[in-house]
Chains A and B, each alone.
Chain A
Amino acid sequence: MPTLEEPIKEVKIVKNYIDGEWVESEGKLIDVVNPAKCQTIAQVPISTEDEIDAAVEAANAAFPDWRKTPPLARSRCLFRLKDLMEEHFEEISRIQTQEHGKTIDESRGETRRGIENVEVACGVPTLMQGYFSENIATGIDEWMIPTPLGVFGIIGPFNFPWMIPLWSAPYAVATGNCVIIKPSSEVPLSQNRLAELVEEAGFPPGVWNVVHGGRTVVSGILNHTDIVGITFVGSTPTGRDVIYKRCGETGKRVIAQCGAKNFMTIMPDCDIDRTVASMMTSFFGNAGQRCLAAANCVIVGEDDVFYNMFVDKIVAIASKIKIGYGLDESVQMGPLRDRAKKEKVVGYIEQGIRDGARLRVDGRSPKIIGGYPDTCFLGATILEDVAPDSPVGSEEIFGPVMSIMRVSDLDKAIEISNANPFGNGHSIFTTNGKNARHFQYNIESGNVGINIGIVAPMALFPFSGMKDSFFGTLHTQGQEAIRFFTESKVVIQRWF
């Protein structure tokens, strides 16, 4: 099958979007590489401190007027943005595949999930309503007004270049704040396309800014006294030890969504075919590079016949996954984002083998459709008899590796899942409601799946997370995002 047409055809220098203008950075440029073809598709700047200051200044200047803009008018800007996103749906999706490597179906899924957040934020006129109590004492009334706070920084990761900033930005601007988005420097292009659509949708200059770069930009945002809050998605060490800590020191609001090690519990009464189909997506979709990807498959029970049949089935299907460039529609798994990430995953596989795990599917030398260089590609890998407290069984690998464990009963499955420091997205596959409820009640996980492979909350719900997977109080998406981006002003009134 021929590959779909690439929207990015020439290498361009990525610009910052500050105060409604496209500005060339004075910072050093680094290459943005399509990981499937190992081809440079753009150059992105590491912006300077002055450029961050300029963006914050613009956002601060835009804030008073934007705050005054009625919520209904702000939501109209979002409605126009949503229409433009739909109009350019396919182009946006293909950009993600080009810059990240994921398959076109995965990119389209990501595009849709991003749009859904804009759709939810369009409801801001009702979402942002306060509340009122008459006569809290005789002749005295009291009410709460949610008010915006100012300028927020949004720091995105590499694995969902389009969607993740949209977990925050639409809610921030809908509630009257201004934003500075720092996309991952590995995948900056879909965020720039988004900013072009924001511009076309008619957002006033300074409300939505994009500043590219790496750690220097992150520290600039963290340390800037005019930034009132930050949302971050990335690794646990950075989220906990840098972002959360520094936001505490500087008095900023923070949402830090971090790493994961997700356990998928398989009960012997599960619907086998549907479970296996969900598992393939959960373990190997996005080449395992998602914080909600399943990592450990915990098979419950002492029935050897079920265990062997189930494992043989997943081994057979995983062995057939087609690997290649995501713009080839037949491809089921794309490359990892870069060579270093692949090498890290390979390191874990080798560590697992050294620690005594049995290698059932070896993805280290995959067959690649289309003859692309094997630099970043890795096939699906399945390790059996993995100890839950081993590095492979306990640490975040962020690659297409399934570690199979076997336990005697459901409580043991819950126990080993809860013993892990992360708590992002655990799930159970069963046809027994009692077991499902027992799991849901006892599992320590911010997002819980019952017969769901990827426990990704829809935009109406908070993208949750517990333990080492989340640092903060409120979460991105939905009502919680509205609360995060607003301060409660309470008025108590008496007239003499």
Chain B
Amino acid sequence: MIALHTASEGISFAKALEVESATFYENLAKRFPISGEAFLAFAKENRKNVREVERTYYGVITDAIEGGYCFDLEPNVYAINVEMSVEASFEEALATARGVEEKIIAFYSDAAVQSKPLMGDVPRAFLTLVKKREKRLSIMNLMLTKKEV
């Protein structure tokens, strides 16, 4: 894949990650109904994140956003893998979810660093999402300990 450079590309990629992972959590909720509430909460938060990212981007005007030199990100590095076998256990499902979250955290962290000098609010919004996701990883650890299956 070709590297992402423009603000529009970066934001579209972020939105795609959020939407794809939301669908993944909605599927997990159906598959593991006992933890369904938690998974659906993740999915709902993802869709809220889409709005947050978009709102922040639309609200910021800087040279960089207009010019399209915000990022130099290789999308392959951050592509998420939501594939799971039909027999996957709860533990395996959570491991996949952790992988998804780590990729998204990496994307937002790198995108925030690259866009920080010129884009103001957007990197701040990305870092807020990193924090949310780190919290999510702790919740997943807890879910694993409690074995909510």
Contacts and interface: CB of A to CB of B under 8 A. Distances in A.
Are A and B bound to each other?
Answer: yes
Interface stretch (B27-35, B66-74, B139-147): B66-74
Contact of A284 (B59, B65, B67): B67
A103 interface: yes
A280 B69 contact: yes
Contacts of B57: 108
B119 to A, nearest CB: 11
Given A89-B58, A452-B63, A277 B69 contact: yes
A332 interface: yes
Given A89-B58, A109-B61, A332 B69 contact: yes
Contact of A282 (B5, B6, B7, B63): B63
B8 A332 contact: no
A281 B69 contact: yes
A343 interface: no
A104 interface: yes
Nearest to B62: A109
Nearest to B1: A1
Q: How large is the interface on A (under 10, 10 to 19, 20 to 34, 35 or more residues)?
A: 20 to 34
Given A277-B117, A331-B6, 4 more contacts: A109-B66, A332-B68, A332-B69, A452-B63
A367 B77 CA distance: 27
Contacts of B2: 1, 330
A1 B12 CA distance: 11
B80 interface: no
A332 B67 contact: yes
Interface string A259-276: 000000000000001100
A103 B6 contact: yes
B4 to A, nearest CB: 8
B127 interface: no
Contacts of A109: 61, 65-66
Contacts of B6: 103, 105, 329-332
B67 A285 contact: yes
B6 to A, nearest CB: 5
A86 B117 CA distance: 26
Q: Helix, strand, loop or mixed for chain B's interface?
A: helix
B67 A108 contact: no
A284 to B, nearest CB: 7
Interface in B2-35: 2, 4-9, 12
B64 interface: yes
Given A105-B6, A108-B8, A330-B2, A278 B118 contact: yes
Interface residues of B, number: 22
B5 A330 contact: yes
Interface in A292-331: 317, 322, 329-331
A1 B16 CA distance: 13
Contacts of B66: 105-106, 109, 281, 285-286, 454
A333 B6 CA distance: 11
Nearest to B8: A329
Contact of B118 (A104, A277, A332): A277
A143 B65 CA distance: 46
A453 B69 CA distance: 13
A76 interface: no
Contact of B61 (A113, A317, A452): A113
Interface string A88-113: 01000000000000011110110011
14 contacts: A105-B67, A105-B68, A108-B58, A112-B60, A273-B117, A280-B69, A322-B5, A329-B9, A329-B12, A330-B9, A331-B6, A333-B68, A453-B67, A454-B66
Nearest to A286: B66
B43 to A, nearest CB: 24
A286 B68 CA distance: 11
A331 B4 CA distance: 10
Contacts of B59: 112
Closest 8 pairs (CB-CB, A-B)? A281-B67, A109-B66, A332-B68, A329-B8, A281-B63, A285-B67, A453-B63, A329-B9
A280 B58 contact: no
Given A108-B58, A332-B5, A274 B118 contact: yes
Contacts of B118: 274, 277-278
Most A CB atoms within 10 A — which of B8, B67, B117? B67
A104 to B, nearest CB: 5
Interface in B38-57: 57
A273 B66 CA distance: 18
A107 to B, nearest CB: 9
Interface in A156-204: none
Contacts of B117: 273-274, 277
Contacts of B69: 277, 280-281, 317, 332
B11 to A, nearest CB: 9
Contacts of A105: 6-8, 65-68
A284 B67 CA distance: 8
B5 to A, nearest CB: 7
B114 to A, nearest CB: 10
Contacts of A116: 61
A331 B61 CA distance: 18
B93 to A, nearest CB: 32
Given A105-B68, A332-B69, A278 B63 contact: yes
A1 B3 CA distance: 11
A1 B5 contact: no
Nearest to A454: B63
A1 B59 CA distance: 24
A280 B67 contact: yes
